[in-house]
Amino acid sequence: MTKIAAWGVRSATDTVAPIAIERRALRPGDVDIEIRYCGVCHSDMHQAHNDWHNTAYPLVPGHEIVGVVRAIGSAVTKFVVGDRVAVGCLVDSCLTCDACAADQEQYCYYRATGTYNSKDRQDGSPTHGGYSSAIVVREEFVLRLPEALDMAKAAPLLCAGITTYSPLRHWKVGPGMKVGVVGLGGLGHMGVKFAAGLGAEVTMITTSPAKAADAQKLGAHHVLISSDTDQMKAAARSFDFILDTIPVAHEVQPYLLLLKPDGAHVIVGAIDMVQLHTGLLLGGRKTLSGSAIGGIAETQEMLDFCAEKNILPECEMIRMDDINTAFERLEKADVKYRFVIDMATL
């Protein structure tokens, strides 16, 4: 075991502060990564505050990690020292169940191992995330970071990116399709970029007219103000697919009315559902579904797609000691659109 520098919390009422953690010695299939940048996800804040009532302390958040390989185990074949790499929300799974065999490790029947707030499958030790100087990860869960991607901006792709890319790919979004993206935040802005990059006609659906200019800069072809009754009526039955990124409980009925027959409304936020009348689904054979992150193969596909299309998140770089202010600003949605920690400031 090796002690390394990190920032974390020891209780739900603590602010994020320096904390010493241990990383395991290299197993034969492990990759040791020097962390250069780590994105800040809403999940980090929720887990730190125990908002989901499942946090094990002490906790070191961070699952949007990019860095450089500094050592490899004796059995590693995919990476060498000096490679640019990335790690997302998962660091292990059973790799044998039907979901894992289908490259859907995020849906592992025996529960995938999270990058933080989880337990190592071999020794039961707690996993700690990217608010740290280094991380040791099983080779199968390390991703190659294309040279074309700016390392300082790529980190949010490992959660916000794949969370929005995966449903777009699963529902085969592409040319000739009309796509609505609900909510312009950390997830929504990536949804707009990806849907446009995949060739769809993209509409940002928002309650705020002030967000129209930003949405169009990000690649949206149209903006639909959902609080405008006339606009919503005019847009009825016009969308093939709606990506819903709103992170709090909300009515989905108005958006279901926007779908064409056989259209799909997909939620990517963990929210409490408001009561729904199923007639809205029956009248058009519509689908209301949810989606989490993607598997490792799909995440690599996304990174390669971003390199090809020059797609990167809109980021605000912060120092490690700015993290508590960043959490406060996240609660107020005061960021365009993702924070990234420069780990050189650890």
Establish whether domains 2-159+314-345 and 161-290 are of one fold.
no
The beta strands (E) that lie in the chain are given as: 2-8, 17-23, 30-40, 65-72, 84-87, 90-92, 113-114, 134-138, 143-144, 178-182, 201-206, 222-225, 239-244, 259-267, 287-290, 315-318, 338-342
- Report the chain's C-alpha Rg in angstroms: 20
Segments making up each domain of the chain, as ranges: 2-159+314-345, 161-290
Separation of alpha carbons 280 and 293, rounded Å:
27
Q: Could you list the pLDDT tens digit for every one of the 346 residues in the chain?
A: 789 999 999 999 999 999 999 999 999 999 999 999 999 999 999 999 999 999 999 999 999 999 999 999 999 999 999 999 999 999 999 999 999 999 999 999 999 999 999 999 999 999 999 999 999 999 999 999 999 999 999 999 999 999 999 999 999 999 999 999 999 999 999 999 999 999 999 999 999 898 999 999 999 999 999 999 999 999 999 999 999 999 888 999 999 999 999 999 999 987 787 788 899 999 999 999 999 999 999 999 999 999 999 999 999 999 999 999 999 999 999 999 999 999 999 9
* Vertex 240: Cα angle to 234 and 245 (nearest 5): 90
Confidence (pTM) = 0.96
* CATH superfamily label, 161-290: NAD(P)-binding Rossmann-like Domain (3.40.50.720)
Separation of alpha carbons 119 and 170, rounded Å:
29
Q: Which fold has domain 2-159+314-345?
A: Quinone Oxidoreductase; Chain A, domain 1 (3.90.180)
